[in-house]
């Protein structure tokens, strides 16, 4: 074994040169790794004792991509394209041996090899688009030459990971290896040498390119078909353009065009925001006062209390992770209804071809319904998802405390109530935690985890790990009114209500936030989620909201009643402005003595977003969230904040905290209202000309 450098080694084994990369955690293509690969390949080419070369990785995975931590720094030699060129130019076959995830530059490196083998558990993909980029080392030129342009368009603009068996069918992987990967790769190398198989250079293969030339309209059709999905993003369009270059230009010119389109994205704000978000999401998993090696509680079964919309969605997450669920309702009728909704949700996914009937049956086989609370006595975790009422919750937690085995975690899905108070209703407050799912609970990725003063480190560590297991992104916050997400949402909601009283049209407020990048504006969202949900919460707190209350008093709960802030034609979900609501608003404005006026889009946007940012500063000052970036993760995954803007605090830094501070003072003098008093932290950052990133 020869060390090429401290990250890459070379060894001749049985007539085959084996180049091994060992650069934890994911063998990312740092400068050292690139230099090591170059040296290793050159060693193999020069070694007269070998007739082929295998490129493989130690540790958990094949190369997982370029080293994202190097982005934004001056490029260093050798560049990845140069390294891939050396591999492809080798006069001996180079075989990539893939395990784990060959992603981005990792797959591009493998595509520069003459052959690729993989274990069945491996996955391959070009996820650069998720970082606001495109595959910048030949991926947009080579992948279409292997799988064809239509599939390459899907894979590159989605960034999805392709399991090795499917990649094998697509021709991306030449052979699936059973047993030891390197042994299998060496055997494969010897086989192709013995058979005299050619050095397959993907860059020379043009049949799939010629195929694409027969349907020139395919690119614009793809654009139209995905317009909604790509809305607001810059990277997908550049991905498409780069693949178009693969069809319209010779390979080498296509590489040049790819680099131009890549560089455009790399220099842009969206790529910086999405790369920031990539690390923010991973940072959120770390809780400063919960050591990495904190012992976890083994979660083998779950109980869900309440089979309503939230309870059913929560149960589905566990079923899909293979965790049996006992779901409890107060009556057989409510239980049957809840389980029927779960079945319908799965059946709908099966009918769309996104879930097999076999998997649906498997999930449902793990579900047990009961009206007897005692039946959950042996589960490892209970998630309560019942009516948002403190007395009801305290009563149920008192019962759970008596029924559930010692060591079981007792979680509540409450979105507004004090979890310290709920925990105090038990003799095990250290096992009580908030697991705040977002509706629809089986779809939204965010899981806002709420620690009380007493929640133990082990329970927190367990629930953070459990979140990942059930496909959620967890963020740990502390107990305050609305926790972190809804506490900030309340500020946006408050401003939206004031804006329509003061003269902004409902559809204008929604349009401005939709154009900002949210999936929908606050009024359309209310109509979708049901305006009665927040109405009941306001009633519980004795809080008035003139327009929102007025429409609910008319039974205008939204889409489910055919009318809310908008009206909906029968069978349609398209919001239509409704003169009835305009009259309600004008009447409320008159009663409130508000003089209505034209309000600009700019004012709408700033008044909806800046109070949220101000609230984020208060949340951080109070220690309710650990990091500014945690708040960004909450808003991207919980509320659809456009990921290409990074999140509220990232956006604040982009706009400039000082500018936000000054605008708040202007709104304060123009509109009055405590919401325009800058938080002390916001003022401090502004005065010091700093941002949330400097915290």
Which residues are the active-site residues?
108, 128
Instruction: Specify the stretch interacting with ligand T1G by CB under 6 A; choose among 62-70, 90-98, 180-188, 341-349.
Output: 62-70
Q: What is the closest distance, in whole angstroms, from the C-beta atom of residue 134 to ligand T1G in the complex? A: 7
Q: Which is nearer to ligand T1G, 134 or 512 (CB)?
A: 134
Question: Position of tokens 């305290």?
Answer: 394
Sheet architecture: strand order including 446-451: 367-370, 325-328, 302-305, 381-384, 409-412, 432-437, 446-451, 473-478
Q: What is the closest distance, in whole angstroms, from the C-beta atom of residue 566 to ligand T1G in the complex? A: 39
Q: What is the closest distance, in whole angstroms, from the C-beta atom of residue 639 to ligand T1G in the complex? A: 23
- Site string (482-501) toward ligand T1G, x via CB under 6 A: --------------------
* Residue 236 in the binding site for ligand T1G (CB under 6 A): no
Q: Which is nearer to ligand T1G, 274 or 484 (CB)?
A: 274
Q: What is the closest distance, in whole angstroms, from the C-beta atom of residue 130 to ligand T1G in the complex? A: 6
Q: Are 162 and 155 in contact (CB under 8 A)?
A: yes
Query: For ligand T1G, which residue of 7, 19, 53, 64 counts as binding (CB under 6 A)?
Result: 64
List the beta strands (DSSP E) in 322-469.
325-328, 367-370, 381-384, 409-412, 432-437, 446-451
Q: Which is nearer to ligand T1G, 269 or 421 (CB)?
A: 269
Q: What is the closest distance, in whole angstroms, from the C-beta atom of residue 55 to ligand T1G in the complex? A: 16
Q: Tally the residues of the chain.
A: 695
Three-state DSSP class for residue 8: strand
Q: What is the closest distance, in whole angstroms, from the C-beta atom of residue 313 to ligand T1G in the complex? A: 24
Backbone dihedral angles phi then psi of residue 432, each to the nearest 5 degrees: -100, 135
Name, in order, each residue with C-beta under 8 angstroms of 38's C-beta and a sequence gap of 6 or more.
Answer: 78, 82, 83, 86
For the segment 7-26, give every residue that binds ligand T1G (CB under 6 A).
Answer: 25-26
Instruction: Specify the stretch interacting with ligand T1G by CB under 6 A; choose among 133-141, 297-305, 328-336, 469-477.
Output: 133-141
Q: Which is nearer to ligand T1G, 29 or 681 (CB)?
A: 29
Instruction: Specify the stretch interacting with ligand T1G by CB under 6 A; choose among 40-48, 126-134, 380-388, 685-693.
Output: 126-134
Q: Which is nearer to ligand T1G, 29 or 43 (CB)?
A: 29
Q: Are 489 and 495 in contact (CB under 8 A)?
A: no
Q: What is the closest distance, in whole angstroms, from the C-beta atom of residue 47 to ligand T1G in the complex? A: 28
For the segment 68-107, give every residue that binds ligand T1G (CB under 6 A).
Answer: 68-69, 80, 101, 103-105
* Residue 67 in the binding site for ligand T1G (CB under 6 A): yes
CB neighbourhood size of 430 (10 A): 16
Instruction: Specify the stretch interacting with ligand T1G by CB under 6 A; choose among 124-132, 206-214, 454-462, 581-589.
Output: 124-132
Query: For ligand T1G, which residue of 9, 88, 119, 128 counts as binding (CB under 6 A)?
Result: 128
Pair of tokens at residue 192? 């192709």
Sheet architecture: strand order including 8-13: 2-3, 8-13, 16-21, 52-57, 94-98, 115-119, 175-177
Site size toward ligand T1G (CB under 6 A) is: 25
Q: Are 153 and 139 in contact (CB under 8 A)?
A: no
Q: Which is nearer to ligand T1G, 26 or 500 (CB)?
A: 26
Closest CA to 508 of 494, 519, 522: 522
Q: Which is nearer to ligand T1G, 66 or 247 (CB)?
A: 66
Angle at 23 between CA 22 and CA 25, to 5 degrees: 120
* Residue 139 in the binding site for ligand T1G (CB under 6 A): yes
Closest CA to 7 of 48, 51, 46, 38: 38
* Residue 127 in the binding site for ligand T1G (CB under 6 A): yes
Q: What is the closest distance, in whole angstroms, from the C-beta atom of residue 374 to ligand T1G in the complex? A: 38
Pair of tokens at residue 603? 């004012």
* Residue 136 in the binding site for ligand T1G (CB under 6 A): yes
By the 10 Å C-beta count (0-12 exposed, 13-18 middle, 19+ buried), 512 is classed as buried
Instruction: Specify the stretch interacting with ligand T1G by CB under 6 A; choose among 125-133, 379-387, 411-419, 595-603.
Output: 125-133
Q: Which is nearer to ligand T1G, 101 or 345 (CB)?
A: 101
Relative to beta strand 381-384, strand 446-451 is unpaired
Name, in order, each residue with C-beta under 8 angstroms of 294's C-beta and a sequence gap of 6 or more.
Answer: 457, 458, 460, 461
Q: Which is nearer to ligand T1G, 135 or 144 (CB)?
A: 135
Q: What is the closest distance, in whole angstroms, from the C-beta atom of residue 126 to ligand T1G in the complex? A: 7
* Residue 28 in the binding site for ligand T1G (CB under 6 A): yes
Three-state DSSP class for residue 21: strand
Query: For ligand T1G, which residue of 135, 434, 522, 558 counts as binding (CB under 6 A)?
Result: 135
C-alpha–C-alpha distance, residues 408 and 298, integer Å: 10
Name, in order, each residue with C-beta under 8 angstroms of 543's C-beta and a sequence gap of 6 or more.
Answer: none
Closest CA to 618 of 493, 490, 484, 489: 484
| 3-state helix/strand/coil string of 52-82 | EEEEEECCCCCCCCECHHHCCCCCCCCCHHH
Q: What is the DSSP letter of 297?
A: P
Q: What is the closest distance, in whole angstroms, from the C-beta atom of residue 636 to ligand T1G in the complex? A: 16
Query: For ligand T1G, which residue of 166, 191, 224, 282 counts as binding (CB under 6 A)?
Result: 282
Query: For ligand T1G, which residue of 119, 133, 147, 164 counts as binding (CB under 6 A)?
Result: 133
Q: Which is nearer to ligand T1G, 101 or 452 (CB)?
A: 101
The residues that touch ligand T1G, with contacts defined as CB under 6 A, are: 25-26, 28, 64-69, 80, 101, 103-105, 108, 127-128, 131, 133, 135-137, 139, 279, 282
């Amino acid at each position: 074994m020869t060390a090429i450098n401290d990250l890459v080694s070379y060894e001749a084994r049985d007539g085959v040169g084996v180049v091994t990369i060992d650069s934890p955690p994911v063998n990312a293509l740092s400068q050292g790794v690139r230099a090591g690969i170059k040296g290793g390949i050159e060693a193999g080419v020069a070694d007269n004792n070998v007739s082929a070369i295998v490129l493989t990785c130690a540790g958990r995975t094949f190369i997982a991509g370029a080293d994202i931590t190097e982005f934004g720094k001056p490029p260093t030699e050798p560049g990845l394209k140069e390294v891939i060129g050396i591999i492809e130019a080798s006069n001996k076959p180079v075989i990539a041996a893939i395990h784990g995830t060959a992603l981005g530059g990792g797959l591009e490196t493998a595509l520069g090899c003459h052959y690729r083998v993989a274990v069945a558990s491996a996955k391959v993909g070009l996820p650069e688009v998720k970082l606001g980029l495109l595959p910048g080392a030949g991926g947009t030129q080579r992948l279409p030459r292997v799988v064809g342009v239509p599939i390459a368009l899907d894979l590159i603009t989605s960034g999805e990971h392709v399991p090795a068996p499917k990649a094998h069918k697509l021709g991306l992987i030449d052979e699936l290896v059973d047993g030891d990967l390197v042994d299998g790769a060496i055997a494969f190398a010897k086989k192709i040498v013995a058979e005299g198989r050619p050095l397959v250079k993907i860059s020379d293969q043009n049949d799939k390119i010629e195929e694409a030339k027969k349907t020139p309209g395919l690119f614009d059709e793809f654009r139209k078909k995905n317009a909604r999905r790509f809305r607001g993003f810059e990277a997908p369009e550049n991905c498409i353009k780069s693949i178009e270059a693969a069809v319209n230009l010779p390979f080498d010119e296509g590489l040049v065009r790819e680099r131009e389109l890549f560089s455009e994205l790399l220099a842009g704000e969206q790529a910086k925001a999405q790369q920031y978000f990539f690390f923010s999401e991973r940072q959120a998993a770390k809780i400063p006062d919960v050591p990495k090696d904190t012992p976890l509680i083994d979660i083998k079964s779950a109980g869900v209390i309440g089979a309503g919309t939230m309870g059913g969605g929560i149960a589905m997450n566990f079923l899909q992770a293979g965790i049996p669920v006992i779901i409890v309702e107060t009556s057989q009728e409510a239980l049957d209804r809840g389980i029927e909704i779960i079945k319908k949700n799965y059946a709908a996914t099966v009918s769309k071809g996104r879930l097999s009937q076999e998997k649906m049956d498997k999930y449902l086989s793990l579900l047990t319904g009961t009206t007897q609370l005692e039946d959950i006595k042996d589960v490892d975790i209970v998630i309560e998802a019942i009516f948002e009422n403190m007395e009801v919750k305290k009563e149920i937690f008192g019962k759970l405390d008596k029924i559930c085995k010692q060591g079981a975690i007792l979680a509540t899905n409450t979105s507004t109530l004090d979890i310290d108070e709920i925990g105090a209703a038990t003799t095990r407050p250290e096992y009580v935690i908030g697991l705040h799912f977002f509706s629809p609970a089986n779809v939204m990725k965010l899981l806002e985890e709420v620690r009380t003063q007493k929640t133990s480190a082990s329970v927190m560590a367990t629930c953070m790990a459990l979140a990942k297991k059930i496909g959620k992104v967890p963020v740990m916050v502390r107990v305050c009114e609305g926790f972190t997400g809804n506490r900030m949402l309340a500020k946006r909601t408050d401003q939206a209500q004031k804006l329509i009283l003061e003269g902004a049209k409902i559809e204008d407020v929604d349009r401005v936030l939709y154009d900002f990048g949210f999936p929908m504006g606050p009024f359309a969202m209310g109509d979708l989620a049901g305006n009665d949900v927040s109405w009941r919460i306001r009633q519980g707190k004795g809080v008035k909201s003139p327009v929102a209350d007025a429409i609910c008093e008319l039974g205008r709960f939204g889409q489910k009643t055919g009318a809310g802030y908008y009206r909906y034609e029968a069978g349609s979900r398209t919001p239509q402005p409704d003169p009835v609501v305009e009259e309600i608003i004008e009447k409320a404005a008159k009663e409130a003595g508000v003089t209505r006026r034209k309000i600009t889009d700019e004012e709408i946007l700033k008044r909806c977003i800046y109070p949220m940012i101000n609230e984020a500063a208060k949340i951080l000052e109070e220690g309710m969230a650990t990091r500014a970036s945690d708040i960004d993760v909450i808003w991207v995954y919980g509320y659809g904040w456009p990921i290409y803007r990074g999140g509220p605090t990232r956006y604040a830094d982009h706009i400039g905290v000082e500018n936000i501070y000054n605008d708040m003072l202007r709104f304060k003098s123009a509109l009055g209202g405590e919401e325009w008093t800058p938080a002390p932290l916001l003022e401090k950052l502004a005065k010091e000309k700093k941002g949330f990133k400097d915290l």
